[in-house]
Amino acid sequence: GDSVTQMEGPVTLSEEAFLTINCTYTATGYPSLFWYVQYPGEGLQLLLKATKADDKGSNKGFEATYRKETTSFHLEKGSVQVSDSAVYFCALSGAGGYQKVTFGTGTKLQVIP
Amino acid sequence: ETGVTQSPTHLIKTRGQQVTLRCSSQSGHNTVSWYQQALGQGPQFIFQYYREEENGRGNFPPRFSGLQFPNYSSELNVNALELDDSALYLCASSPGGLAGGPLGNEQFFGPGTRLTVL
């Protein structure tokens, strides 16, 4: 079945540091890929998405590129802020008959001033 | 445009009881999915409803059941509650379409219901 593997946290960075959170996936066909963010005490918010190979999703300075050859969708940001502190989930939605989203276990990011 | 809403926000039950959680989908969305997120874990798919019919189910026992109404709102029912059912329950809606596609695959999440089973 479908699965998502993302790097374990927590990740602690200083403000303005470069962020990479690795994510790889296993799926049949051509899934859509997502990054969701969850702030403390809140539900999930879609951060960015990519629906086909070589697509780059971007939002709020975050980027991720759909790499089919390496089955990866790594999240990057050039300069993190304290307000980026949250849990980040990599996820995929298969191209099958129903739209189940499969999530990774999440990576907690803490940005310190 | 109103987003996905869920009620109640928090709920405390005791082992063996039954609970009903509610979700209103985003306007124009005909597909609702439910997820269970245990503390420190990623959300796990429970089931999905499309046009009032169950359209897929994850690895959850039959005591987890659901309904979707003609206005596409939905309920999640859990019978015979167990301590391990304590979690954040998330509802997500999407525009639907059986074959997915870029719009069909994107799900919009509600804020969740925090269930505590004592």
For A9-36, how does the pLDDT look when each residue is reduced to its tens digit (9 = 90+)?
899 999 999 999 999 999 988 888 999 9
High-pLDDT (> 90) share of chain B, %: 69
A11-14 and A107-112 strand pairing = parallel
pLDDT band at residue B99, thresholds of 50, 70 and 90?
very low
pLDDT of residue B1: 59
Mean pLDDT value of segment B70-95: 95
A62-65 and A19-21 strand pairing = unpaired
* Tokens standing for residue B78: 């859990």
Task: Sort A108 into a burial class: Cβ within 10 Å, 0-12 / 13-18 / 19+.
Answer: middle
pLDDT of residue A42: 82
For A108, what's the count of Cα atoms within 13 Å in the CB-facing half-sphere? 7
Measured in residues, chain B has a length of 118
Interchain CB distance below 8 Å, A46 and B108? yes
Q: Which residues of chain B neighbour A89 with C-beta distances below 8 Å?
A: 42-43
- Across A43-52, B48-57, B79-88, B98-107, the highest mean pLDDT is recorded for B79-88
pLDDT of residue B27: 86
- Give A38's contacts (C-beta < 8 A, 6+ positions apart): A44, A45, A86, A87, A88, A89, A106
Work out the mean pLDDT of chain B and round it to a whole number.
89
- The answer to whether residue A65 scores a pLDDT higher than 90 is yes
In whole angstroms, what is the distance from residue A56 CA to residue B46 CA?
Answer: 30
pLDDT band at residue B102, thresholds of 50, 70 and 90?
very low
For A74-98, how does the pLDDT look when each residue is reduced to its tens digit (9 = 90+)?
999 999 999 999 999 999 987 655 6
**Nearest partner of B57 among B45, B72, B74, judged by Cα:** B45
pLDDT of residue B100: 46
Q: Which residues of chain B neighbour A103 with C-beta distances below 8 Å?
A: 42-44
Interchain CB distance below 8 Å, B50 and A104? no
In whole angstroms, what is the distance from residue B36 CA to residue B82 CA?
Answer: 14
Q: B interface toward A at CB cutoff 8 Å?
A: 31, 33, 35, 40-45, 48, 50, 55-56, 58, 88, 90, 92, 94, 96, 98-100, 102, 104-112
* Tokens standing for residue B66: 């659901």
- The answer to whether residue B96 scores a pLDDT higher than 80 is no
- Nearest by CB to residue A100, choosing from B45, B88, B98, is B45
For B13-54, how does the pLDDT look when each residue is reduced to its tens digit (9 = 90+)?
999 999 999 999 988 888 899 999 999 899 999 999 988 999
Q: Which residues of chain B neighbour A3 with C-beta distances below 8 Å?
A: none
In whole angstroms, what is the distance from residue A70 CA to residue A76 CA?
Answer: 16
In whole angstroms, what is the distance from residue B27 CA to residue B80 CA?
Answer: 33
* Maximum Cα–Cα distance across chain B: 42
pLDDT of residue A94: 76
Smallest CA–CA distance from B38 into chain A, residue: A105
Look up residue A15 and give its amino acid. Answer: E
In whole angstroms, what is the distance from residue B4 CA to residue B31 CA?
Answer: 12
